[in-house]
Structure 1
């Protein structure tokens, strides 16, 4: 948003200079992006008069001038401008001065034998426009020798600010002046729009065919206008902010867009077909030739202004060429409308049209300013172009924009960290235009002004009774209305706190640290999330590929892996063979392995972290880390490939449990695996007799046959929800015994029906003070071992802590191991 200092002072009564204004703008949240002093580069240029202009003796297209710049010295100037003549008053640059439009520093020269001691400048050479048809032609009474910058008012800095998307009111010079006045930098000047008397009936009428296209619109005609160039003050004002003056009518609409934040559009009445202008949605494929000269193909989601011939403007975004005003216009029709901000934004983005009108409508304009804006524009058109005004044509109704907000004074301190007197907080809000409705010692309720649609915003405020709720694209009216009701409940108090704080200067708000909730910050991930991530890494490190499969499958297939209650049957499955929630992810992985095998890739190792479904309760949905291996193990340089077996699956399950911190000594394996495993080649890993942590084993041959998957295949499940969280203990000194451990091997003969786990457990309990570990390293059955028995060899680690053990003490420990194993399992020491 750009504006000049003098333009700002049209609305703000202040003696503040540009630097103080810039500091205040930054302090109240309207960030200054730049200040341009156009006069700085032109400060040395002087107003000069051509005493005499004669033909150059050696060039047909050049003129020889004698120029007076008011210092009593006549200078010779060679000039090629066609308008150079005796008596012309223009602008001269002397040798040594820099001409910004050409990038050249002047020197005394000689052109075709004639000395040139200065340069008469065009507007483009001074960087003041594109006109290069001739030198600047000033009024005859311009003071010769005076600074051109001061005489022309170019010592007027241009200020540019950035405006956040919520501050549509700050896209107007008056809105900026209002904020500065509220911040204490001057007084906002009064503004009014006296009605313009109507002298004839409006030649065009408004019709809102679809409320999505427009909410409220006013219009009136002015006949007898002369649409020539706009006056110099208006052209200068637009040129200063980067706009190109076009004609008086168009320039007036641009002025109102920036001055008051009220976009307008003017139609040439003679070019409009019929007597109605209709606000409607575009017909699919309808075209519009816009004022920028481009053709646009419209969609059914674009709101347009149309006459009998078709679309004449993309409402709120850009006007159309066929009905635009030009020098021949004698009667214009002013459009002043209110559009849906979201629809304007979507249409502008859809067609990549960026205009000043769009940037204001999509942020939200003042819904109560239509009539005053139309009256003011009518009066200015009559002043500059002549003519008389018609009656006002209107369609729609002003939206129910009125709303209130409540501020508890304590919130200024608790939300903003600033201890501010209540009267000061009140005063800041009132200076912004918030009217007090009710007040007590603790709070105040204010009426929000119409131009601040970002405060206590209720989306329904944009919609008149019966209007379209288009903030919610794609929703039907009932759902959109319900959504708008929810938005109305947004807490507006924070908006008021922000207004109070920024008017005192954001730099005055103290920096307050958030309270520390704990000395050590909480972990970024929950224990469940951390477990899942760790499990994925462990399985990936073991060569498994993670899959993501459907959590449902065919009921007949699911029944092979567990119960399939009707409550877990899908009422509306996405496919006929995906109608049952799976009992275990193993089933999904085996189906994936079957599809791979059918395509010639039989050796797979797949894993998945997913859900297993037992019933419809939350407890019936278990988090499971499952894996499947099929075919052969990878061939290594030192070992040949072999078919996968139950121990591969057990190793995967145990690796996950170990990584999750489960103490290995506390685990035991039982043979009661689920029915889809091979009996005798599967197991259940438990922690104690009741807590099941994992299952593993070969997949039952009947299941493999049903899935058309040739064996062998093994699988495992780790029940992540059942894995206990490791106990967090305070770190102390590491337990590093000072004595070397001893290892003794024992081989026992035991009935082959006895589980090795029972033997290991008995050995560990033989002497808990000295035995630190027991492991099985060999199992033998065959020659030398009686039928029905098996040889189990274990290694016992003895860790002395207080003194080196003597032979007698070591033998005593060994005897206790043998006795404990014999008592628990009936095993005898193998000879």
Structure 2
């Protein structure tokens, strides 16, 4: 958004310098991208008068001019311009001047033998226009020796600011002036509209067929106009901000676009067919726009049509068929309100960038159409003459009025700045917010939002999908809107005061020491990964998305874990366990003839209540052939060793673990187990995969696997006292016991009972034999265990060993009914 300082001062009464204005703009969020004063570039150039001009003695097309530059002596300049003549006021560039349009530096010298001490310039050579037929001809009011920038009113800085998408109101010079006035940099001048009474009924009417794209439109005819070049002040203003003047009627619409953020359009009434213009959707027509390009329109585009077809791409660009020219005598002036979303979609699809589209898609003032039409009509008549018709309109003003509430204490608690309610209210008032209610007791107020601030308390889009509670959604949207509206007001107050005035506060530190670089879970994952890698397994990384069919082999797959929009047809399910990915890898290796595989993965498994971190592994096929020996298949115990090693690496003692037989259905029911800590806490599974699962996939060799649930493994307690290591100096004693117990008794239970019989001396209990046969009852089995006794103070006597043995036998008999095998 570009504007000049003088343009800004037409709306803002201020004595601030250009530096103060730029600093304030940056402070209130209107970032200054550049500030250029053309007077700096034009500083070497001065006005001058040609006193006499004679033909060059050595060149027919050159003239030797004696030029008055406001000094005592005349300066001789050799000039080749055909319009150089005595008495002409011109622009003089002294030696050493840089000519921006030609990119040369003037030097004093001789041209065809005649001295030349400078240059007489055209506007093109100064970078101020395209005129190149000769040197610039200045008016009679030019005084020799005056700076040309001052004479031409070019000593006016041009400010270019960046506008965020939510601040459509700042795309007009008046909107920028309003913000600066609220920030205390001056006073906003009143904008007075002089009404123009209609002299006759409008011969052209509006019809709206697409009210969603255009809720409200106004227009009026001005007949008897004379279109030509616009006044110099208007052309200079447009050129200063990079807009090319076209004609008076077009320049008026460009002026209102930049000055008041109101795009307008002018139709040549005599080139329109019929007596009405209709706003509707496109129907596949071809449309020749003012940029000379032809566009094919669709039902997604909003257009303005007459009896002959499309005349304008609404809110974006007019058409060649109804454009004004120098022959135009009657016009129809359009002032409309278009839907921002529709404008944005059409502009993007057709790749049309225009000032009108840029503003409409950001939202315009929804209430000022009548005033804008009156102001534009007045300027048209003032510059082009003519008389205006009555105003014709269609649709109605949208229901834009809304309020926003603010609790003033939130300016401190939420914004970090102490602002009095009076100051906050004054800022909002200067921004156009009018106070509706002020509750001094509770320190809050309600303000009405101005029509030009579409970003404040904007309505929320409701969720209208089937099955959604409309009433509940409506209440949720209203509640969210109230919170957002208050935040908007807080932001406006803080923005105008200046966010750089908010005091900087450091976040309180919980400790002088920094936090841990890694979390306990990350430590466990690293430990498990190192252990399994060192034991020969290869790590894989699989997707969390797997095949619905393959996931079904590893337990139930609830509908809540099914993906509605998968990235691939074979990745439509969240995996219940990483074993799914590992098994898929085993199948791929199997298809390529590689039957011996050891893999593991540390990843996430999903269930209906959420997700958990899992260490999973699979071992398939047979071990490598050894000299003199055969292949050794993957066994249940191999999986158990891997799983138990991981648990021990995570800080769990084997004595705290128990093994039960209740495993998921994808494990072999007789060759699998569940690691538990206590009756409820399941730490993981291990065992052979179910033969049915392997048979279904055509695998005829064993596969064993394991899963450890990292989230279930207790975190080691912090702050425990260090355990002193005491190496025994006395020899340990080993005794074997064979107990006949019921077949229902688990070996794990027996080992735990034996270990607890004499905890002070028994350091290790291990199972070394299981026997079932004709030597013992049919409903019983023999479990043989080795018990290690480790004395610490003195060697054990035979009597003491016998006493401990009796305690072990008695404990087993009491706990599981076991008897020593004879």
Superposed CA RMSD: 4.7
- Give deviations 1:436-481, integer Å, cap 9, x for gaps: 222231222222211222222236xxxxxxxxxxx799989x9999
Contact 2:64–2:76 (Cα < 8 Å) also in 1: yes
Task: Quote the Cα distance in structure 2 between the aligned partners of 1:165 and 1:17.
Answer: 28
Q: Is the 8 A contact 1:629 1:644 kept in 2?
A: no
* DSSP 3-state at the match of 1:322: helix
Does the 8 Å CA contact 1:532/1:609 hold for their aligned counterparts?
no
Residues 1:812 and 1:625: Cα distance change in structure 2 (over 3 Å): farther
Cα distance 1:819–1:264, how it changes in 2: closer, same or farther (>3 A)? farther
Out of 496, 500, 509, the position equivalent to 1:503 is: 496
Q: Mean alpha-carbon deviation: is it higher for 738-747 or for 144-153? A: 738-747
Contact 2:123 2:135 in 1 (8 A): yes
Partner of 1:86: 86
TM-score between the two structures when normalised by the length of structure 2: 0.83
Query: Aligned to 2:115, what secondary structure does the other structure show?
Result: strand
- Structure 2 match to 1:467: none
Return 687-696 or 206-215, whichever deviates more: 687-696
Matching of residues 428-447 of structure 1 within 5 Å: 428-441=427-440, 442-447=443-448
Checking the alignment, whether the CA contact within 8 Å between 1:602 and 1:630 is kept in structure 2 is no
Structure-1 residue corresponding to 2:725: 737
Tell which deviates more after alignment, 410-419 or 757-766: 757-766
| d(CA) in 1 for partners of 2:533, 2:309 | 64
- Matching residue of 2:703: 713
Distance in 1 (alpha carbons) for counterparts of 2:689 and 2:409: 68
Tell me whether 49-58 or 520-529 shows the greater mean CA deviation.
Answer: 520-529
TM-superposed CA distance for 1:263, in Å, is 1.1
In structure 2, do the counterparts of structure 1 residues 215 and 475 end up closer, same or farther at CA, with 3 Å as the change threshold? farther
Match of 1:236 in 2: 236
Task: Using the TM superposition, name which of 307-316 and 807-816 deviates more.
Answer: 807-816
Is 1:685 paired with 2:679? no
| Partner SS for 2:372 | helix
Matched residue, 1:206: 206
Structure 1 CA distance for aligned equivalents of residues 89 and 158 of structure 2 = 27
| Aligned residue number for residue 317 of structure 1 | 316
SS of match in other structure, 2:10: helix
Aligned to 1:367: 366
The Cα of 1:383 is off from its aligned counterpart by 1.3
Q: Cα offset for 1:373? A: 0.9
Partner of 1:404 in structure 2?
Answer: 403
Q: Which moved more, 1:398-407 or 1:341-350?
A: 341-350
Report if aligned partners of 2:754, 2:765 keep a CA contact under 8 Å in 1: no
**Structure 2 CA distance, aligned partners of 1:564 and 1:181?**
64
Per-residue CA distance 1:667-694 (angstroms, 9 max, x = gap): 1223454555335432222223554433
- 2:450 alignment counterpart: 449
1:731 positional shift: 5.8
- For structure 1, list consecutive stretches of 5 or more residues without a partner in the other structure: 460-470
On the 8 A contact 1:760/1:775 being kept in 2, the answer is: yes
8 Å Cα contact 1:76-1:116 kept in structure 2 = yes
Secondary structure at the aligned position of 2:658 is classed as: strand
Cα distance change of structure 1 residues 481 and 95 upon mapping to structure 2, 3 Å threshold: farther
1:416 aligned counterpart, secondary structure: coil
The equivalences for 1:141-290 within 5 A come to 141-284=141-284, 286-290=285-289
Q: Which residue of 1 aligns with 2:636?
A: 646
Following TM superposition, by how much is the alpha carbon of 1:233 offset from its aligned partner in structure 2, in angstroms? Answer: 0.9
- Secondary structure of the structure 1 residue equivalent to 2:655: helix
Deviations, residues 321-370 of structure 1 (Å, cap 9, x unaligned): 33222323222222211112222223323333332222222221111111
SS of the residue corresponding to residue 322 of structure 2 reads coil
CA distance in 2, matches of 1:240, 1:573: 53
Deviations 1:487-542 (A, max 9, x none): 55412112222222233333333334567789999999998899889878987884
Q: 2:717 aligns with which of 716, 723, 728?
A: 728
CA-CA distance at 1:663 after TM superposition: 3.6
Structure 1 contact 779–793 (Cα < 8 Å) conserved? no
> Cα–Cα, structure 1 residues 573 and 810, in superposed 2: closer, same or farther, change >3 Å?
farther
Find the residue that maps to 2:78 and give its secondary structure.
Answer: strand
Residues 611 and 430 from structure 1, CA distance in 2 versus in 1: closer, same or farther, beyond 3 angstroms? closer
Cα shift readout 1:698-731 (whole Å, capped 9, x = no counterpart): 233344334433231223344567x253253226
Q: How does 1:610-621 map to 2 (within 5 A)?
A: 610-611=605-606
Aligned residues of 1:213 and 1:315 also touching (Cα < 8 A): no
Cα separation, 2, equivalents of 1:332 and 1:540: 83
In the alignment, the residues of structure 2 paired with residue 595 and residue 547 of structure 1 have an alpha-carbon distance, to the nearest angstrom, of 16
Shift of 1:319: 2.6
2:116: which partner in 1? 116
Q: Which shifted more, 304-313 or 762-771?
A: 762-771
* Deviation digits for residues 261-293 of structure 1 (CA, Å, limit 9, x no counterpart): 111122222333433322222235x43333233
Counterpart position of 1:348: 347
| Aligned equivalents of 2:236, 2:297: Cα separation in 1 | 36
Q: Which stretch of structure 1 is more off in the superposition, 97-106 or 433-442?
A: 97-106
Deviation of residue 172 (structure 1)?
1.1
Q: State the match for 1:468 in structure 2.
A: none
Q: What whole-Å deviation, never above 9, does each CA across 1:780-827 have from its counterpart, x for those lacking one? A: 999xx9998787667x696x9xxxx56626999988886666666699
The CA deviation at 1:631 is 3.4
Report deviation, 1:312.
3.0
- Structure 2: how far apart are the matches of 1:140 and 1:264? 37
Describe how 1:691-702 pairs up with structure 2 within 5 A.
691-702=681-692
Shift of 1:259: 0.6
Using the alignment, how far apart are the partners of 1:48 and 1:215 within structure 2? 57
C-alpha distance 742-271 of structure 1, shift in aligned 2 (>3 A)? farther
Following superposition of structure 1 onto structure 2, how do residues 763-778 of structure 1 map, counting pairs within 5 Å? 764-765=755-756, 768=759, 774=764
Cα distance in 1 for partners of 2:517, 2:392 equals: 62
State yes or no: 1:419 paired with 2:418.
yes
Query: Are 1:47 and 1:92, in contact at CA under 8 Å, matched by a contact in 2?
Result: yes
Distance in structure 2 (CA, Å) of the matches to 1:378 and 1:53 = 48
Decide whether aligned partners of structure 1 residues 348 and 757 sit closer, same or farther in structure 2, where only a CA change above 3 A counts: same
TM-score, normalization by structure 1 = 0.83
The answer on whether the counterparts of 1:196 and 1:379 sit within 8 Å (CA) in structure 2 is: yes
Q: Is the 8 A contact 2:545 2:575 kept in 1?
A: no
Q: In the superposition, relative to structure 1, how do residues 472 and 496 fare at CA in structure 2: closer, same or farther (>3 Å)?
A: closer
- Which residues of structure 2 form unaligned runs of 5+? none
Contact 1:535 1:625 in 2 (8 A): no
- Partners of 2:615 and 2:170 in 1: CA distance: 59
Deviation larger for 213-222 or 738-747: 738-747
| 1:329 partner SS | coil
Give CA-to-partner distance per residue, 1:15-48, whole Å, 9 cap, x none.
2221222222223222222211110121232111
SS for the counterpart of 1:808 is: coil
2:620 aligned with 1:631: yes
Q: Is the 8 A contact 1:763 1:817 kept in 2?
A: no
| Alpha-carbon distance between aligned partners in 1 of 2:25 and 2:144, rounded to the nearest angstrom | 39
1:584-637 per-residue CA deviation (whole Å, 9 max, x = no partner) reads: 776787577557645756555476743467xxxx5xx88584856363268699
Q: Which range moves more in the overlay, 811-820 or 213-222?
A: 811-820
Distance verdict in 2 for CA 1:232–1:584, change over 3 Å: closer
Aligned CA distance change for structure 1 residues 580 and 188 (closer, same or farther; 3 Å):
closer
Report the counterpart of residue 543 of structure 1 in structure 2.
Answer: 538
* Structure-2 change in CA distance of 1:631 and 1:81 (3 Å): same
Distance of aligned partners of 1:375 and 1:602 in 2 relative to their CA distance in 1, 3 Å threshold: farther
Q: Does 1:808 align with 2:799?
A: no
Does structure 1 conserve the Cα–Cα contact (< 8 Å) formed by 2:462 and 2:477?
no
Distance 1:712 1:372, change over 3 A: same
Match of 1:463 in 2: none
The whole-number CA distance in structure 1 between the counterparts of 2:299 and 2:527 is 52
Q: Is the 8 A contact 2:622 2:632 kept in 1?
A: yes
Distance 1:113 1:230, change over 3 A: same
SS at 2:379 equivalent: helix
Cα distance in 2 for partners of 1:377, 1:283 equals 32
